[in-house]
Every structure is written in structure tokens, then in C-alpha cells.
Amino acid sequence: MKAFDSQVINIDETQYKLKKLIKLLEAKKGRHTELVTVYVPVGYSLYEITNQLRQEQGTAENIKSKPVRKNVVSALEKIMRHFQLYKQTPEHGLAVFCGNVSEKEGESDIELWAIEPPEPVKVKMYWCDQKFDVGPLMQMIAEKDIYGIVVLDKSEANVALIKGKKIENIAHFDSIVPGKSRAGGQSSARFARVREGLLNDFLKEVGDATNKAFLGKDEIRGIMIAGPGPIKEYFINENYLDNNVSKKIIGTVDTGSTGEPGIHEALNRGEHLIKEAHIVKEKKILQDFFSNLKKGDLVAYGLREVIKAVEMGAVQTLIVSEVALFSEVEYKCKCGFKKDFLRNDKRVCRVCGENVRIIGEKDLIESVTELAKNYSTNVEIVSGDTPEGQQFLELGGIGAILRYKI
């Protein structure tokens, strides 16, 4: 039985573990319709669900293929036995996935994953297919901190979404609005009219794209309008935006640039406007880390240096990239049996340099999180989607802000 541990240090780790589990379940494919998914909603009786599964077990006895019939019946039996471990339905309900995941025809490998999700299960489901149904779990990992952002001046504009730690570009526009200097022989009044018309057309195009991207999207918490100069205020005040979109504007931010650099600049300068967004929190954590790194004080980086610091009790905040390059593995090589951290792209023994045979494996985040729990160390998981996140990954994807200098 594979179990999901919901006792974690912070919500980022919960989300990370759930994402990892979903990815694992999505990769499991049945050779036939023999993978069983069961969701037990909050407050629903496990006894009633068990009775339903017993009826489904009777129905499964009619499956023509003997191996498929045996696998489905065995999966249902295993799920019902698992339910006996609970005195009552867990607080947030229960999700169970079980079936034959053997990659070889004719062989049986019945595995079970039981999950007490971090959010309430709202759907009652029994489903038998060639794949597990992870839809309700996917809804739990959907980003909830979503903001809109428009960065513009008279030359170009970008419309984007800030989803947790990720920037999703929706549209980019280049304008043909000329500068304020007119061509020779052209009257200033005529030039001003042409320029004003082109600017109006450009801002209308940006406004239409903004309305299309954000109108009716209840999940968007707010919209930031940014850019150099007064164009952003003009864009807001001259009714280029639908009234319902305008109501979601949380403020404007002055930037020195537009395009993607302008988006990142707006996020930094508009931190106070979207202080709850994950991407701002992540940037702040990494900026603190790099600031300490620049001073050469109260910081550690590199896998073994950071683990040593954690074991000394010196780490205040342990920072790990969700795309970290290492895993903790148990392996066998010509030196014998060992346990060590190895690069995911280079599975060789650090002592003898030989390729190793993996016996067991745990990813870096799970491993260091378990270690951190013993030393009251806060764990922060960061993405590789921001410039700071990429820079951090280049240092190895693991670092620490220290309590004291070591």
C-alpha cells in the first residue's frame, strides 16, 4: 500500500507532494479496464461505500476475460480491506486508487494508493478504467492566487496572468504610434490627430484583449496596470476596459520598461498590491538568500553543505527548488551497499565512480523535509519559473538562510 502523508511543514510541501502523486498516478496505465478509482466525500459512510463496492465485485464476476475479472475483483477486495483500517471517514474524505499496474501481459501486480487529501473531497465516485481518475485531485492543486497584469506604453503592451509562482503570457502587442516629432511639411494639428487615432486604435486593441482575458474570471483576485509614463492611467480612465474588469484593478505601478522585463519589474515594485501571491513570496525568499550570499554571511548552499548545516541546527529556512537535481538513493555498486545523494542525471558511486544499481529512491524535497522536521527548520519550496528561481537552480537548487554563522 502506498500512503500519502498529509502531516507536512507547510502548504507548499503539501501541494508538491500531491502534484507528485498525481503525476505518478497519471503514469499508471492498465492493459485493460482494471484500474479502480474510489472517492469518498466528506461525511459519507465508509460502510455504505463498502456495500457498493461489494455489489460492484459481484458485477465484475461477469467479466468475460478471466485475468481481467480476477484483477478487478482483487482490486475491489484490496480497497475494502483498506477501508477496515478506518473507524470513520477521515476529516477531508478519502481517495483510493487500486489495480493491476503490471506492464507485462498475463502478470498481476495489484497496487493501492490511499490518500487523505489536504482539501475536502466533494464528489462520490466509483470508476473502473484503463487509467485512474485524478480530476478531483487536480482541482485541489489548481492555483488559487491568480492576478492579472497589463504592462504598456505607447509602443508595446503585454497582458499576462500571475498564477501562483508562474507568469502566463496571454498577449503581446506592438504599436505603430509615432513619436511626438512630426515629419516635415505635416501640420501639427493633422499630425496630432493621426497620432491620437493610432494611439486610440492601439489601446482599444489592448483593452479588447484584456477584457477577453479577464472578464467573467471570478478566480482572478485583482488586476495590476503597469508601465512607464502616463499611458497606463489614460488606458484606465478612457474606458477601454469593461466596467467589471475595471472594478478588479488593484492599482498602478510605474516601471522603466515594458515587455517581459516590465512584468518582472512590476511584480517587484507592486509587491504591496499582490503581497499574498506565491510569486512575490518566492521572490522575497530568494532575494533574501542572494542578499545574504552577496554579503557572505548567514547563508549556505550546495547539497552537502546545507545538510551539514541542518544537522547542526543552524538553519532557519531551508530552500529547495521543485526541480532540484538530486535524489536520495540506496544502491549497490562494487563497493557494496550504500545510501547517498546522487545527481538525477549521473547515477555513479562517488567513491568508485562506477554505475550503480538503484534499490530504493526518495526525491530531494521529501528527504530534506523529513530531516528538517527534527530541527524545527522551516522549508520553502521554490519554482524554477522566475529569474531568481533559475539563478538558484544554477547553484544546485538547495540553499539555506542560517540562524547563526558557522
pLDDT digits (tens, 9 = 90+) for 49-87: 999 999 998 898 888 899 999 999 999 999 999 999 999
List pLDDT tens digits, range 168-195: 999 999 988 777 665 555 677 777 788 7
Q: With beta carbons less than 8 A apart as the criterion, state whether 150 and 55 touch.
A: no
Percent of the chain surpassing pLDDT 70? 94
Work out the pLDDT band at 8, boundaries 50, 70, 90: very low
Work out the pLDDT band at 343, boundaries 50, 70, 90: confident
Q: Residue 230 has which C-alpha cell?
A: 502616463
Work out the pLDDT band at 104, boundaries 50, 70, 90: confident
Work out the pLDDT band at 103, boundaries 50, 70, 90: confident
Work out the pLDDT band at 17, boundaries 50, 70, 90: confident
pLDDT exceeds 70 at position 13: no
pLDDT exceeds 80 at position 142: no
pLDDT of residue 145: 76
pLDDT exceeds 80 at position 376: yes
Q: With beta carbons less than 8 A apart as the criterion, state whether 346 and 357 touch.
A: no
Residue 202: CA atoms inside 13 Å, Cβ hemisphere, count? 24
Give the Cα separation of 149 and 95 in Å (integer).
37
| pTM of the predicted structure, to 2 decimals | 0.61
Range in 141-155, 232-246, 326-340, 387-401 the model is least confident about = 326-340
pLDDT exceeds 70 at position 7: no
pLDDT of residue 12: 56
Extract long-range pairs of 2-9: CB within 8 Å, 24+ residues apart. 2/111, 2/112, 2/113, 2/114, 3/113, 3/114, 3/115, 4/113, 4/114, 4/115, 4/116, 4/117, 6/116, 6/117, 6/118, 8/369, 9/369, 9/372, 9/373, 9/378, 9/379
What are the residues facing 301 on neighbouring strands? 399
pLDDT of residue 148: 95
Give the Cα separation of 309 and 311 in Å (integer).
5
pLDDT of residue 3: 40
- What's the distance, CA 164 to chain centroid? 8
Which domains are present in the chain?
2-141 (3.30.960.10), 146-276 (3.30.420.60), 283-402 (3.30.1330.30)
Give the Cα separation of 99 and 112 in Å (integer).
7
What are the residues facing 161 on neighbouring strands? 148, 168
Strand, coil or helix: 107: coil
Q: 46-60 vs 66-83: helix axis angle to the nearest 10?
A: 170
DSSP state of 90: -
